[in-house]
Amino acid sequence: MKESINYNNIHPWEEYSNMINQKSAVIKLDAVVVGAGFSGLYMLYRLREAGFSTRVFEASSGVGGGLA
Protein backbone atom coordinates (compact mmCIF):
# COMPACT_ATOMS: atom_id res chain seq x y z
CA MET A 1 0.00 0.00 0.00
CA LYS A 2 1.36 3.42 -0.95
CA GLU A 3 2.03 6.06 1.67
CA SER A 4 -0.38 8.99 1.70
CA ILE A 5 0.79 12.61 1.87
CA ASN A 6 1.19 13.93 5.40
CA TYR A 7 -0.13 17.50 5.26
CA ASN A 8 1.54 18.23 8.62
CA ASN A 9 4.80 18.71 6.69
CA ILE A 10 3.41 21.67 4.75
CA HIS A 11 4.53 24.81 6.53
CA PRO A 12 3.53 28.40 5.93
CA TRP A 13 6.62 30.45 5.09
CA GLU A 14 6.21 32.66 8.17
CA GLU A 15 6.40 29.67 10.49
CA TYR A 16 9.52 28.39 8.73
CA SER A 17 11.28 31.76 8.91
CA ASN A 18 10.71 31.70 12.68
CA MET A 19 12.30 28.24 12.80
CA ILE A 20 15.35 29.50 10.88
CA ASN A 21 15.86 32.36 13.33
CA GLN A 22 16.49 29.82 16.09
CA LYS A 23 20.18 28.92 16.19
CA SER A 24 19.46 25.27 17.02
CA ALA A 25 17.25 24.75 13.94
CA VAL A 26 19.18 22.51 11.54
CA ILE A 27 17.02 20.81 8.97
CA LYS A 28 18.60 18.46 6.45
CA LEU A 29 16.42 17.65 3.45
CA ASP A 30 17.00 16.10 0.06
CA ALA A 31 14.47 18.38 -1.64
CA VAL A 32 12.27 21.40 -0.97
CA VAL A 33 9.04 21.98 -2.89
CA VAL A 34 7.79 25.56 -3.07
CA GLY A 35 4.00 25.75 -3.37
CA ALA A 36 1.33 23.31 -2.22
CA GLY A 37 -0.81 23.47 -5.34
CA PHE A 38 -1.54 20.46 -7.52
CA SER A 39 1.96 20.33 -9.03
CA GLY A 40 3.71 20.85 -5.69
CA LEU A 41 1.75 18.10 -3.97
CA TYR A 42 2.32 15.76 -6.90
CA MET A 43 6.07 16.43 -6.75
CA LEU A 44 6.00 15.83 -2.99
CA TYR A 45 4.33 12.48 -3.61
CA ARG A 46 6.84 11.47 -6.33
CA LEU A 47 9.91 12.52 -4.35
CA ARG A 48 8.79 10.69 -1.22
CA GLU A 49 7.91 7.65 -3.28
CA ALA A 50 11.52 7.70 -4.54
CA GLY A 51 12.79 7.84 -0.94
CA PHE A 52 13.77 11.51 -0.65
CA SER A 53 13.24 13.50 2.54
CA THR A 54 11.10 16.40 1.41
CA ARG A 55 9.34 19.45 2.80
CA VAL A 56 6.72 21.66 1.14
CA PHE A 57 6.42 25.38 1.79
CA GLU A 58 3.26 27.30 1.04
CA ALA A 59 2.78 31.06 1.44
CA SER A 60 -0.93 30.79 2.26
CA SER A 61 -2.52 28.97 5.18
CA GLY A 62 -3.97 26.12 3.08
CA VAL A 63 -3.15 23.73 0.27
CA GLY A 64 -4.55 23.41 -3.21
CA GLY A 65 -3.24 26.50 -5.00
CA GLY A 66 -5.68 27.60 -7.72
CA LEU A 67 -7.82 24.51 -7.11
CA ALA A 68 -8.83 25.63 -3.60
Q: What is the DSSP string of 2-62?
A: PPPP-GGGEEEHHHHHHHHTSTT-----SEEEE--SHHHHHHHHHHHHTT--EEEEESSSS
pLDDT digits (tens, 9 = 90+) for 13-46: 566 666 666 655 677 899 999 999 999 999 999 9
Half-sphere exposure of 60 (CA within 13 A, CB side): 9
The pTM is what? 0.60
pLDDT of residue 39: 93
